[in-house]
A and B are shown apart, each in its own frame.
Chain A
Amino acid sequence: MPLDNVVFWIFAPLSVATAIGMIAVRNSVHAALFLVVNLFTVAVMFLLLDAPFLFAVQIIVYAGAIMVLFLFVIMLLGVDRGDPVGDRLFGQRTMAAILGVAIVAELGTAIRASIGLATRAPGGFDAANPGGNPAALAEVLFRDYLVPFEVTSILLIVAAVAAMVLALRRSRAVTQRELEAPAGDDLAAYGMAPPGAPASMRAASPRSGSGAPGGPR
């Protein structure tokens, strides 16, 4: 058995298992950790498919940056916010399982009909990668795809600005009276009613708007 076959049959079941684990576990942090392992296994698949540059990018961008962002938000919002138990719709789980099996069956049939289950990748991929994979990718990226690449930079800047605008709390000066106010009032200043407060009080609180996610309403 050739080595890449061995690697595939180690990491493909691991990939599926971690994906199932991500769905099944209750705790959000555990789900995020399962997702990290899953992204690593997909990165190994990239390596098997002769894409070492994407392997590195996958680990740096996905398993590094994006998952840290996920974990950061989970910690920020509180780990104990679990999912509510039980189906919202009748038979939701069954229907979702049926849909998942249907997707796999449909795509499997399409793959079998189009390229067949035994088609191996042709050799000579190195010829398509003069100077190694990253150098060849750079050649294509900066020549044929230069305009999309520049548009990407605009997209990233817009995303960063959008995240700041969305996450910004409209701030204002704090008066001495607010500093001396009792704790319950303090919560209201952040746009949150104290835990026992009725909903009407929350809506009527004059300062509840200070928790708005930025921008005039």
Chain B
Amino acid sequence: MRTPIAYFLLLSAILFALGSMTVLLRRNALRIFMGVELQLNAVNLSLVAFSRMHLELDGQILAFFSMVVAAAEVVVGLAIIVAVVRRTSTTVVDRADVLRG
């Protein structure tokens, strides 16, 4: 293991920034969701890197839980997007601006 831990953390920071840029730039709900997934992955990477650095397994456990929560979140989020599309027939988040069903 010769690669410095900081490189993994920097990669994680770059991926997180790119994910948040996707969330800010894109207006298709699905693309925004992909950006959120990218952010979650970046944080997972930093968790595993810290776990390696401190020789503890708790970071990997936390990354595992975050994956489970991400899976649940994707299921519910995509169902919400499908429901919104049925109602407003658009995936553009600017046009789905009414909270009422």
- Which residues of A come within 8 Å of B, CB atoms? 2, 4-5, 8, 12, 15-16, 19-20, 22-23, 28, 31-32, 35, 38-39, 42, 45-46, 48-51, 53-54, 57-58, 61-62, 65-66, 69-70, 73-74, 76-77, 81-84, 88, 92-93, 95-97, 99-101, 103-104, 107-108, 111-112, 115-125, 127-129, 136-137, 140-141, 145, 148, 152, 155-156, 158-160, 162-163, 166-167, 169, 191-192, 211-213, 217
Contacts and interface: CB of A to CB of B under 8 A. Distances in A.
Contact of B49 (A49, A83, A92, A191): A49
A37 to B, nearest CB: 12
Contacts, number: 257
Going nearest first, the 3 A-B pairs with the smallest beta carbon separation are A213-B83, A159-B72, A107-B13
Interface in B64-101: 64-65, 67-76, 78-83, 85-87, 89-92, 94, 101
Given A107-B13, A140-B57, A35 B38 contact: yes
A212 B83 CA distance: 8
A24 B91 CA distance: 18
Nearest to A215: B101
A73 B30 contact: yes
Contact of A82 (B1, B8, B28, B75): B28
Interface in B40-82: 41-42, 44-45, 48-49, 51-53, 55-58, 60-61, 63-65, 67-76, 78-82
Given A8-B3, A70-B78, A111-B13, 11 more contacts: A15-B15, A35-B38, A51-B52, A51-B63, A66-B74, A93-B25, A99-B20, A120-B5, A155-B68, A166-B82, A191-B87
Name, among B20, B38, B42, the residue most crowded by chain A CB atoms within 10 Å (CB to CB). B38
A45 to B, nearest CB: 6
A32 B91 CA distance: 16
Given A20-B18, A152-B65, A167 B83 contact: yes
A211 B41 CA distance: 35
Contacts of A93: 25
Contacts of B68: 152, 155-156
Nearest to A208: B87
Given A69-B75, A159-B75, A211 B5 contact: no
Contact of A54 (B63, B75, B89): B63
Given A93-B25, A140-B57, A120 B1 contact: yes
Interface residues of B, number: 76
Given A35-B34, A88-B94, A163-B76, A103 B20 contact: yes
A129 B58 CA distance: 12
A110 to B, nearest CB: 9
